[in-house]
Structure 1
Amino acid sequence: MKKHFLALGLAAALLAPQAAGAEGFAINEWSAEGVAMGGARMFAEDDAANVAYNPASITKVKGEAMKNSATYLSPHGSYKADLVADPTKPEYGKNVVHAGWAVGSYYVKQINDKEWFGIGAFPRFAMVSEFERSSKVSSNAFFSKLNGVSVTPTYAHKFDKKWSAAVGAEINYVGLELQKNVNTTLLGGGNGTTQIEGESYALGWNAAANYTFDEKNEIGVVYRSRITHSLEADLKGYGVGVGGADVFGNAYGVVTLPDSWSIGYNHKFDKKTRVELNATRTNWSTYDALNVYFDRPLVDIPGRPAIGAATSKSESAKNWSNGWRYAIGVEHNLSDKYAVMAGFAYDESSIPFDGGDFLVPTGNRRTYSLGARYNDKKQTVAVALGWMDVGSLDFKGHTGDAFTKAHTYDSFTKIASISYQRKF
């Protein structure tokens, strides 16, 4: 039964579509309890999802545990775009609601009094956004999707009553799809659509440590490495070639997912109530550009190599800045079997005016959440609800866009999550 449980959970995590849920395209919704506590979930007792939140805390799992979680995210938002053709008549629109799931699966086994092994499959990076194909902002992007899953085998060691540490590998998968409208008529081509779709696997690592001051106070730190993907993709250009011809080829690019540091503090007021504080710094400066190069030009006119060179690539500077995420979570045990949780998180926007786009049109975010948990000796079930105020964002249009600048507003994400854990 354990093997079937784990296989089912890993398959669900690897196959589920994902949705953006936090700063940039980072995901923090890895379990219902984590959602309920705003992501401040680094010191949970007997929770297999510690593999994701804080690998050093898998030493708090007694025996053997498996856990599956599913989080539903539904983003909403509006925009105003000042158009190149007529700045006095801006375009107003909304994103096409494209809900997704963040799925996690975890397994932890206590080897002996000093050693633990854990493995998780969960999304660290993902996003999805869609706008009307006939809108002017579609020159920037009308459909963008990044599916991501990290598989993290982890080893943890408990040195004494105060110190524990962990180290793990990360096998990271990304699947990327970008679609936008392209007008190449001034270069001798047509007015059509490009689609870039590809996937990549890359390796990273993580490390964590916990220190217990006394029975009420604990501190921990987690580092996750940056991961560089060399992405190979299919290029499909519909109606963009000479005379409106379709163009098919290959595309490639390099995308570096950022490294991050998390530090957390846990305080137990008594046996029933505790509070966690968490701060995460993500080095988004690694996202300095989104450059994609084609093995053949969209517009290829004999004797005009300059035009071919100009349409053999899609370059866009981003120059994001490093950012912080702050979270606080409270957990209160009503009895031996029932508990309630609440949380709040604040994400700084790392997107500059000249580096924003309709792929990830988010500003400063505030997330409010609550949840409940039932547990007995063998099973744990938790549910959570959250509401994220995504904030507004201003950014300018890039070369080839039909707008000079854009403003997103009234943006929010509805969140619902459920988790189930079984101990053996």
Structure 2
Amino acid sequence: MKKSTIALLLLAPTVQASGLLLQEAVTANAGAAGAGDGVYTKSAAATWTNPASMAFMGEQLTTVNAMLLNLKMDYDDKSGITNGDGEATTTMPSFGVFYVRQLNDSLHLGVNFGVVGGSSIEYGSEWAGAPYLDKAFMTGVQLNPNMSYKLNENWSIALGAQISYGLLEVSTASLQTDLDTDWAYGYTAGVMHKQQDWSIGLSYRSKLEHEFAVTATSVDPAMSLPLQTELLVPAIVDMSGRYDVNSKIAILSSIQFHQWSDFEETPLYTDNLTSSVDRQWQDVWKFAVGTEYKLNNGWALKAGFSYETSPQDDPSLQWVNLPVGEQYRYSFGASTEWGDKTVDFFYEFADFGSIPVERQVGAPDNGLNTPLPDLNGTFKGHIHFVGVNLSF
């Protein structure tokens, strides 16, 4: 099998695109689709989006987020080959822990730990894309230490670090890689302004780049090849706002910019070959709006909606390992207070819609003069999220 063929087969970053940026485990207000997260001071998880929010969280606040997600992806093949359709279903947990402590009237320190993206997915060996992807596992875990400074009663600024640990393992119908891990580092910064009945915040998370080195092995023909690839987590800008209409109703909103234009291709290197999967992704915008309604002294109800633009709309540039399109998220939740503890329950549905794929792979020589099929079909996918957040 030619090394260029292996390059196309193994580049499978089933990770965090706004396509699969599964950040619900690090979302402060998932019941409102994450709207207003950068200024949501009732949960320490808000410091993930905007560390400047720490300045308005009091002397100490801890939040533990736990959720279960169910991911389903279907592939409808249009090439007419036998066993062309594909289906993958994944159920997996995710979590995050967040802590904020006040040092003096001006300084707050915080630390966040959470699973920020990735997926585990398996289509099997009997579908049109099996020569390119059978199953894949990718996840990213981050530790974020942060510090905020309160300029006055209304303004705060903050800086923090991103310490990211990534894991990657991929297989196709005929190839398998070993599991590899990598560390990557970045930073985050934020500013927040808070008034009695409204607040606004602006934050920035820098780009992260993971580099993985794996060994690909095949059975027919028998061979082993060391490979290296790079995976990108984009820079993210968030602007969040909150407005208390009255003592019972609050309106929340967020606008995010994900700089996926940096993800032009997924490179792969061997000792004497450099290849890549052409992506040509575009920057993504995410818009979220939500509301909170205080039902009584013990309970509050929440609902939210978010929309994300697609990083790639050209079917000829889609690929089996990361089909991407527009995203629609619908959520609702409820929160209650037990003494000094707040419990948030939420459900969210993420709809990926239909993603046409018309990728021309060509017919490289695999040693048996058997051409690999081109990919022509449509992906459809969605995710159910169910979770609970405890703040104390």
TM-score for the superposition, normalised by structure 2: 0.87
1:318·1:354 contact (CA, 8 Å) conserved in 2? Answer: no
Deviations along 1:26-47, whole A, 9 cap, x unmatched? Answer: 2330357522110112222332
Give 1:184's aligned residue.
none
Q: Which blocks of at least 5 consecutive residues in structure 1 are unaligned?
A: 1-18, 182-191, 296-308
2:141·2:166 contact (CA, 8 Å) conserved in 1? Answer: yes
Aligned residues: 368
- Secondary structure of 1:42 counterpart: helix
Distance 1:219 1:319 in 2: 33
Structure 1 counterpart of 2:40, from 41, 44, 48? 44
TM-score for the superposition, normalised by structure 1: 0.81
- Secondary structure of 2:85 counterpart: strand
Q: Which blocks of at least 5 consecutive residues in structure 2 are unaligned?
A: 1-13, 363-371
Distance 1:89 1:33 in 2: 46
2:38·2:203 contact (CA, 8 Å) conserved in 1? Answer: no
Structure 2 counterpart of 1:259, from 208, 213, 235? 235
- Secondary structure of 2:342 counterpart: strand
Cα gap change, 1:176 to 1:252, in 2 (>3 Å) = same
Cα gap change, 1:257 to 1:31, in 2 (>3 Å) = closer
Give 2:141's aligned residue.
149
Q: Partner amino acid for 1:413?
A: I
Taking the TM superposition and a 5 Å limit, the aligned residue runs for 1:6-405 are: 23-30=18-25, 34-40=29-35, 41-83=37-79, 88-89=80-81, 92-181=84-173, 192-195=174-177, 197-212=179-194, 214-233=195-214, 235-240=215-220, 244-245=221-222, 247-295=223-271, 315-351=276-312, 352-399=314-361, 401-405=372-376
Cα gap change, 1:169 to 1:21, in 2 (>3 Å) = closer
Distance 2:121 2:325 in 1: 15
Deviations along 1:87-133, whole A, 9 cap, x unmatched? Answer: x5585524221122231111110112211111101233323332121
Distance 1:355 1:177 in 2: 23
Q: Partner amino acid for 1:333?
A: K
Deviations along 1:383-412, whole A, 9 cap, x unmatched? Answer: 111112111111222435522422113x22
2:28·2:45 contact (CA, 8 Å) conserved in 1? Answer: no
Cα gap change, 1:76 to 1:21, in 2 (>3 Å) = farther
2:86·2:127 contact (CA, 8 Å) conserved in 1? Answer: no
The structural deviation recorded for 1:195 is: 2.4
- Secondary structure of 2:175 counterpart: strand
2:81·2:128 contact (CA, 8 Å) conserved in 1? Answer: no
Deviations along 1:352-373, whole A, 9 cap, x unmatched? Answer: 3233222222421111111111
1:20·1:128 contact (CA, 8 Å) conserved in 2? Answer: no
